[in-house]
Chains A and B, each alone.
Chain A
Amino acid sequence: MHEMFEVRWHGRGGQGVVTASRILAIAAFNEGFAGVQSIPWIGAERRGAQIEAYNRISRTPILLHSQVYSPDAVVVVDPSMITRNNNVVIRGLKKSGFLIINTAGTKVIPSIRVPEECLVYVVDATSICLELGLQAAGLYVLAMPMLGAFAKATGLISLKGLRKAVESSFESVLVEKNMKAIEKAYYSTLKVHITPEQYIPPVPPSRPERIPEFRHWTDLPPVPVSTPSKGSIGKTGDWRTHMPVIDKEKCTKCLFCWMYCPEAAVNVNEEGFPEIDYDYCKGCGVCFNECPRKAIRMVVDEKK
């Protein structure tokens, strides 16, 4: 490794992205890197909000303290960000960098675009979390296994270094569970074959625009007024690990599910049956718990 290695994480609030980035920094420090950084970028403290986190890893102390604009590696915890807008995740990615994605199937692979010579790796972190029940406050911590995938893909840190970092970050009961997830991911991370058509010219890094200076109030732009729309932050995506499924045989059309859905994601059809809007249902499980007839099951979201 020459000079400094920069990492950008993409995920959603609640998936453990910030924690994983911190653990990566600690692990790198344990491996003897003298300069390590972990920087969270959070627009709003909200579960499900798109967030980023950054790491810098270097043999020498780091004096730079900005966000990471030209990463050597990008870790994508929530693959729905790739299908929607690939450019968001690969912006600034260096030629011959790493793109590491949490995905179960091969569905997202054809839609991947990367700068030339980039190496792409995939791992099914979601299944690993589901299998091990790796949860915090009700959400699956998908970012933890991604540490294993990162270690495997980049070779920058070892499982031993990760273990030490995990041990110093969690209570002892959680260490084994997290390490198991990390190890499982390490051994199941696969390199993806990328065809020449998938290579695209580098996407320039996005830097914050300068805010224009206004000298007089008449120069100000008009008051911003937003338009009401469903999906104001887009579809739910892989933030949902489980989805509710209604059994019409058992349903008595009491509409408790409609009444208690915090998301207004339950519609009522012409026959009076509830119908779930899967584009926006966040899979919280409230309807599952409130249905008096137990007509709702939560199943692992199969769209992955």
Chain B
Amino acid sequence: MRLISFLPGLLVVLILFGLYYKSRGILGLKPLTSLLFGSEWKPLKGSFGFFPFILGTFWVTLTAMILAVPVSLLTAIYLSEYAPRSVRGAAKSFVDLLSGIPSVVFGVWGVLMVVPFVAKLAGWLGTYSSGYSVLSGAVVLAIMVFPTIILVCLEVFAAVPRDLRDASLALGATRWETVKHVVLRKGAPGVFAAVVLGFSRAFGETMAVLMVVGNMAQVPKSLFDSAYPLPALIANNYGEMMSVPLYDSALMLAALVLLLVVLVFNLGARITLTRIERRVE
């Protein structure tokens, strides 16, 4: 039993080391800056610039968070502070249940409804878009991270002592003022952690985004442009990567970059949440 306790740590090290080991091939030949900030992606000619993919990931994730954070935060506040106990329970179960829906199912829905809608929206706004765009990816992702942010925020708000709320209400504050000055202030680190957790979930999400974002290796200039996020790049090209020199190395570097970004954010969030939990206990 003691032996098995080394497994999780070992696995983390193995994944990090394995990806690094495979990316050494390309890291040794090209400076990291030209890989990360180069815009040309032509594996057959040996040029691997990740910039369009990094920016693609960044824009899709950022837009998704801009859409998801206010909505999920307001929902969490409503459920935690306003909704009757029965409604809260039912809504929580519902969100919980749906947090398990696989990402391809979100992707199917995105293709069926979001993509055509975004194409139409672009028409109304006087531009053209196929609908396979940053915006479509962001809408699908936003809905995917709703459950993460809402469920974590609910736990954070539940950890704010009831006495504090009662004191504020007793002083004549309205419910909203209590939320604004007491609950949100007290829960701020937890809310921040919830958002970061949602962000890192979105950042690494592959299939749903891949299906609606268009996958063109360009730096997107507007929300209606196609993008090509890093996870999609890895997923789409594993077939060819063994036949082109350095291609596999480049894709493993992409996986490593993805992993490092997600890990840093995830760990920050988890540490914050553990601290909050411990304070409550």
A complexed with B: no
